[in-house]
Structure 1
Amino acid sequence: MRRRARLASTWRPHLRGERHLRGLVARHAGGGRLVNAAWDEVWERRTLDAEKPLLAALLAADGLDTGFGDVREDAWREATARWVDELGLSEGDSVFEVGCGAGAFLYALREHGIRVSGIDRSSTLIGYARDVMPEATFAVADAADFDLGEQADIVVAFGVFMYFPELDYATGVLERMVAKARRAVAVIDVPDKAHEAEALARRIATVGGEDAYRERYAGLDHLYYDRAWFANAMSRAGIRGPLIADQWLKHYENGRSRFNAWGELSTT
């Protein structure tokens, strides 16, 4: 695995009092965890546009076709190729994605000869992933309760930690990802606490003001993370010398306030 922008060893956890839930919440029947019910409804309504090229359709189904995203296929493939490099992936290696949605990231990894699998809370999106990648294994499951039976070389979560209700929940998911992985873990597209105010201002401006924002996004809040807290949470979970870098996906408006975090397991 390549070592870019290594974190200073003096960083320490910095909790910001984010122990309260944001937005509408509900109990997940399986694990008794708190999850955001409003976001569940959004993802279950997603459709797969048969008129678009397949990767473009998957990106749209995964919510990357909005004014905050509008990610291009070439930029997506370029970012994926960099992840293949950063994570030291080779043809035949396996990647398991937590919160895979319709599978846009896994589909791009699959083009590199990577064996893919994943879970998501949305049965609708998992159905699309199964249709597009019938040889892969997908399951409807919560990020805190997915099966640990079969490990994967790399375990990733792309754009899903923002939907978690609180930091304790995120910590539990990190620990579970480490247990599932053989070599490394990557958490991609994490909302940066240092840029929360500007991210909110950008979203409000994009939809046409505060009233329009409240109407459109009532109960659909994101959880933001302090980079130092995230690095230490990864270290405590068993990831050696985690790396933190700005989101490098091009033509992605939200990327201005997001970061990526990844590292090898301490036992490798």
Structure 2
Amino acid sequence: MEYSGTWREIWTQKGEMEGGIDDLYIYDGWEKSKADIKTTAYKIRKELDIKPDDRVLEIGCGAGALAQYLECEYIGIDFSRSLLKKHIEFFGNSVLYGEANDIPFKDKWFDKTFCWGVFLYFESLEYAEQVLREIVRVTRSGILIGELPLESHDKKHLLYTKEMFDGWILEDAWTKKYKGKRFIAKKREENL
């Protein structure tokens, strides 16, 4: 299926696609990267040291590709109502419709927050900066933001520089295909 329009329209179209849980690669945009969802979720869990009693927020949770592998007090947020419906249908998680630059939770409400492969779809760097401030505001002890593109095959992707993440712990992409082209930004409790 071909998707067109703005990123918001594309993610809505994906969520409206007929299919089931076996189509998570497409619903959540993993079809081009060919990365292993389960391995990525395991690395996120390990990197953030997610425990079963941790309250964890996922920004841009989509249909739940990563969430399915997390054992914690999980809450997801996304702006695609159609993908959120799929998420609830497939996994029954607590998810809410909303904007990442206006997270409706108290300061330091979450133990950990992560956002994987979402920042490239933001509309502007100003929006991304607002999202970063909100993530830091609502998070107590660990943040992980993955797949931040330095360059991209798609001219519609928003690009970043490592200098934009001054004070963050940075590392190269985990996916072999994106080594040197994307990076990961982290903050730990002592830096929040």
Shared fold by TM > 0.5? yes
Summarize the alignment of residues 103-114 of structure 1 with structure 2, pairs less than 5 Å apart.
103-109=64-70, 113-114=71-72
Matched residue type, 1:49: G
The aligned counterpart of 2:181 is: 257
Q: Which of residues 5, 19, 26 in structure 2 aligns to 1:60? A: 26
8 Å contact from structure 2 (residues 44, 144) kept in 1: no
Q: Which of residues 159, 179, 187 in structure 2 aligns to 1:224? A: 159
Runs of 5+ unmatched residues, structure 2: none
Runs of 4+ in structure 1 over 3 Å off: 253-256, 265-268
8 Å contact from structure 1 (residues 48, 57) kept in 2: no
The aligned counterpart of 2:105 is: 148
| Greater relative contact order structure (CA < 8 Å, 6+ sep) | 1
In 1, Cα distance between the equivalents of 2:10 and 2:23?
A: 17
8 Å contact from structure 1 (residues 117, 138) kept in 2: yes
Runs of 5+ unmatched residues, structure 1: 1-36, 204-219, 236-241
The aligned counterpart of 1:244 is: 170
Normalising by structure 2, what TM-score? 0.85
The aligned counterpart of 1:70 is: 34
Report percent identity of matched pairs: 27
| Larger-Rg structure | 1
How far residue 59 of structure 1 moved from its aligned partner, in angstroms, is 2.3
1:119 is paired with a residue whose SS is strand
How far residue 108 of structure 1 moved from its aligned partner, in angstroms, is 1.9
8 Å contact from structure 2 (residues 77, 96) kept in 1: yes
In 2, Cα distance between the equivalents of 1:123 and 1:132?
A: 14
In 2, Cα distance between the equivalents of 1:63 and 1:162?
A: 12
Do residues 168 (structure 1) and 126 (structure 2) align? yes
- Number of residues of Structure 1 aligned to a counterpart in Structure 2: 185
Normalising by structure 1, what TM-score? 0.63
The aligned counterpart of 2:10 is: 42
